[in-house]
């Protein structure tokens, strides 16, 4: 199983202090990687390092805004100085605004695209010179089922994640010959704080209608857990995926493969 060993590798997980980013960071660390992550505040950085420490992992948090080219270039340089050239980038940081399109302001739309699409471009651009220098690298973009599908109220998110899918393919196209693999993970519906409003119990104790819809639409019959993404991330970060490039690995319990039950 040495092909999955990440010992000696340096990983940067954006937004890696909690939720999906934390689960992926934890998986990479357990496979041997040195894990670094960024946060938007000092408090989040401290809590993130404590979360890793509670799992017996020493991870290194930094405060940096993924939408700032200047801050991310400085962060990548600092990580290189303290830990070495980044071998693995996980573009995980993201936001969603559930607003009907006609009610969504252009400012809100731009904010979602800035965090979910522009930031992965900024972060990839920051780490690629080091990967080229080292002669290898792994970039993992956290995409979404909304890279393939649309749904009411998520115009900005779907547009950004669809763009991220194509950015993934383009990085593969441009840097594959330099032994750099860029792939995406497309989570299905994952039980996180971000999706908690969609799983709230109704006043009568019944499941939220959207919760019922997702359970019925997913062959696995459940929401995913953040930990379900750790194994796929380790695979895409490791030598086991050296000939996998430009691919989006959907971790969705089968939802994209399923037309649903007949009413």
Residue 157 annotated among the catalytic residues of the structure: yes
pLDDT digits (tens, 9 = 90+) for 137-155: 999 999 999 999 998 999 9
Output the pLDDT for position 260: 84
pLDDT digits (tens, 9 = 90+) for 70-113: 999 999 999 999 999 999 999 999 999 999 999 999 999 999 99
Q: 3-state DSSP: the chain helix, strand, coil percent, rounded to 5?
A: 50, 15, 35
Confidence of residue 261 (pLDDT cuts 50, 70, 90): confident
φ/ψ of residue 125, rounded to 5: -60, -35
DSSP assigned state of 170: H
User: Has residue 194 got a pLDDT over 90?
Assistant: no
Catalytic residue among 157, 189, 250, 258: 157
CA atoms within 13 A on the CB side of 117: 20
- Classify residue 254 as left (phi > 0), alpha (psi -120 to 50) or beta: left
- Quick one: angle between helices 119-134 and 155-175, nearest 10? 20
Q: Measured between alpha carbons, how far is 23 from 66 in angstroms, rounded to an integer?
A: 19
**pTM here?**
0.95
pLDDT of residue 195: 85
Question: With pLDDT > 70 as the criterion, what percentage of the chain qualifies?
Answer: 100
pLDDT for res 263: 72
Say which residue the tokens 């780490």 belong to.
127
Categorize the per-residue pLDDT at 163 as very low, low, confident or very high, splitting at 50, 70 and 90: very high
Is the CB of residue 85 less than 8 Å from the CB of residue 131?
yes
């Amino acid at each position: 199983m040495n092909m999955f060993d990440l010992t000696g590798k340096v990983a940067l997980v954006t937004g890696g202090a909690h939720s999906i980013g934390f689960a992926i960071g934890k998986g990479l660390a357990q496979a041997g990687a040195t894990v670094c992550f960024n946060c938007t505040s000092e408090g989040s950085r401290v809590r993130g390092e404590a979360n890793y420490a509670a799992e017996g992992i020493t991870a290194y948090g930094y405060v940096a805004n993924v939408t700032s080219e200047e801050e991310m270039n400085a962060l990548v340089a600092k990580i290189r100085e303290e830990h070495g050239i980044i071998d693995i980038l996980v573009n995980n940081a993201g936001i969603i605004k559930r607003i009907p399109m006609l009610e969504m302001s252009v400012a809100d739309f731009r904010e979602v695209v800035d965090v979910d699409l522009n930031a992965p471009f900024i972060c990839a651009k920051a780490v690629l010179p080091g990967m080229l220098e080292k002669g290898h690298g792994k970039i993992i973009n956290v995409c979404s089922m909304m890279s393939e599908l649309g749904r009411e109220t998520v115009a900005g998110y779907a547009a950004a994640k669809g763009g991220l899918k194509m950015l993934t393919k383009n990085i593969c196209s441009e840097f594959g010959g330099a032994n750099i693999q860029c792939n995406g993970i497309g989570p299905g519906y994952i039980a996180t704080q971000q999706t908690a409003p969609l799983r709230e119990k109704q006043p009568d104790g019944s499941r939220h209608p959207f919760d019922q819809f997702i359970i019925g639409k997913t062959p696995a019959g459940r929401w995913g857990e953040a930990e379900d993404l750790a194994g796929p991330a380790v695979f895409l970060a490791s030598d086991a995926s050296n000939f996998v490039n430009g691919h989006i690995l959907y971790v969705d319990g089968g939802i994209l493969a399923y037309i649903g039950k007949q009413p």
